[in-house]
Amino acid sequence: MQLRDFAERVLFSRSLDEKLTPPPELNDAEPGSVIAAPREPGRPKSLEFQQGRSQTGFPRPHELETDEARGRLLHFFANHELLATELMALVLLKFPDAPRAFRKGILRTLKEEQIHTRMYLRRLRQLGVEFGQYPVNGYFWNVICDMPTPMDYVSRLSLTFEQANLDYSRHFARLFKRLGDLQTEKLLDKIYHDEIGHVGYGLKWFRKWKDPGLSDWDAFKNQLHFPLSPSRAKAEPFNLEGRHSAGLDDEFVRQLFVYSKSKGRAPAVTFFNPFAESFMGRGKSFSPNKQQAALARDLETLPQFLCRKDDVVLVNQRPRIEYLAELKEAGFDLPQFEVLSRGRLAKDSELRHRKIGMLRPWAWSPDSIELLQPLVKNLTSQPMPMAGSWDTQIKPLFAKSFGTEVLRELLTKTPDDSWLCPPSLAGIRVTDYESALGTIQRFRAEGHARIVAKLEYGVAGSNMLRLWEPITTEPQNTWLRRNVELEGAVIIEPWLERVLDFSHQYEMTVTGLQSHGFLKMENDARGQFHTSVYTPKFTQGLPQETARFLHAGVPDKLKQLYAEIGSLLEPRLARAGFTGPLGVDAFIYRTTSGELRLKPIVEINARFTMGRLLLELMRTISRGSCGKMEIVSKAMLKHKGFDSLLDYAGHMKRKFPLRTVDHPKRRIVSGAVCLNDPIRATGCLAVLVISAVTRRVT
């Protein structure tokens, strides 16, 4: 029998028995002419691809105690084995001039796929399931059948889908062994070991045909085109041993381990722009200083912890593979990283042509709008704020005066509430130098020895003038004159004796404002942020006096207060057309008479904050744990007793060794994780410490 005749029988027959019957002795003397791929292979009616119908749900591991769930899973795998058989028959018919050794190897692999399919069918019958009982899809066929060359075949099937089966088959073999189903475990173990050979076979020809100037990884990545990508070549848990057994080199395996790209979902695109307020206040004249530039560079990967798996983070430098591997091994999902070209999307960036689900920068500001503008046309959901409504609607939400206005309204509505600050401490917006001096003098006359002047669009904790002296100095007068002129306004308010800094996080959606919870904060003596603290209950770990102050009176009064603040914010945000994250900073302070009072709104940040970042991080951590995230600057190292950020990172990892659990998904139970790469950090390091023990905030 000619090999071509056998391949035609496998590809076109509508009889499952004919498709899966092993061939007699074959020869390849008459390979015939090239055929075009049919729209789909011949199949019995019950196994035809179901267009427009959802495939039967893939059962979760905990559901596999039942024969019905096991049958659904094995039905899914059996269809894949049949598809592989049919695709190999297509290769024999589509590439008659391919090397004889290649065609011989395809035949050998095809016969093994027939065996695998028959093994699945036998096990399905034992479980009371008929092949074709559930809908099947033709995804494998659709993305492989148009392969122009044999190189595309080995890239798409051998090195992509068969490589992914190194993960699936071994994982489920072990799972069924734990469940006591040794028959299914033996079946999957046989397929796993055969799959190692199939991947190795494809790899041999891939290396023979690829550009010799490219590494295996680069050649593989370049060979795949949408909708395929290397993300289809793996599953969780990742099988390192099987890939090495198949002959894949260390670089290939490391790169694949950390590779991420959406398999079809339109991704969100984000990036870190921490100086949004400065760009708003100064426009294009703003340029980060050396320290600010180092912070932005060091922390540019932080948005990855705000992402879903396969979202896209825009960066100026691709993260090191070794660092990403550490994060993945700790249980974090990795996004796709897209490297910018001189701070802009590269002209050949694939993102320019992909569907985008959402644009979600750290903050909406002129710099983020300019960067993301080329992607607006690709959005499948609500578009970003656009120029036109920006200056009059969105920009005012970022002004410090926005927070003072909302605070004043809140305090006016609750004038007799003795636990809140008086309206006079809400801060005053001034628009000229003389008014600034007059306001400062008025606060001094009221007994406030320390006063602060904030830029209308300053970054929290910086861009402020601290007036500790009884008379303003000439440099202070110069600062006031210059910044009132540059930004049009500054905010003047008393500096209070803080006892506890905290924030409340919200999210404005198209359906309304949602509450995301409270976090404690630690600021330095200048009021600049350096630590966020999360505890399952907000008052955990607080000094008794502070906890009693928050608990006194009406139960949940803090929660009720921020629900009231939310009711003041929501209509303002809706009128502006704003959607996205929002953080409200607050603090408890001690009056000159020794009483505790709450200033419930210090600043409103219409963007992501470090507090919101910690909240999102805690969603991936073992329940009941406490979290502390600190931003350690290079300037803080001497005080901490370390010579470098890398030394400090090593100390924290030794002091708080990482401990994880793997069920149902890997989660951190305790330990320290560096949230940016300590080897590359030059200005600051973000460190997350997870503990089951509450640490008092001082």
Domains of the chain: 1-146 (no CATH), 268-384 (no CATH), 385-421+496-609 (3.30.470), 620-698 (no CATH)
pLDDT score at 183: 96
**Among candidate residues 160, 143, 117, the one with its CA nearest the CA of residue 22:** 117
What whole-number distance in Å separates Cα of residue 164 and Cα of residue 652? 36
Residue type at position 402: F
Is 193 strand, coil or helix?
Answer: helix
Q: For 161, which DSSP code? A: I
pLDDT score at 186: 97
pLDDT score at 366: 84
**Distant-in-sequence, close-in-space partners of 263: CB < 8 Å, separation ≥ 6:** 227, 229, 231, 232, 310
Q: Are strands 512-523 and 529-534 parallel, antiparallel or unpaired?
A: antiparallel
Question: Tens of pLDDT along 108-160?
Answer: 999 999 999 999 999 999 999 999 999 999 999 999 999 999 999 999 999 99
pLDDT score at 60: 82
- For the beta carbon of residue 595, count every other beta carbon within 10 angstroms: 11
CA distances, 322 to each of 257, 298, 310, 668, 680 (Å) = 10, 16, 19, 19, 12
Is 210 strand, coil or helix?
Answer: coil
Structure tokens at 616: 């999102």
Are 557 and 543 within 8 A, CB to CB? no
Q: For 134, which DSSP code? A: S
* Reported pTM: 0.89
Query: In the chain, which stretches have pLDDT less than 50?
Result: 53-54, 387-388, 696-698
What whole-number distance in Å separates Cα of residue 135 and Cα of residue 389? 49
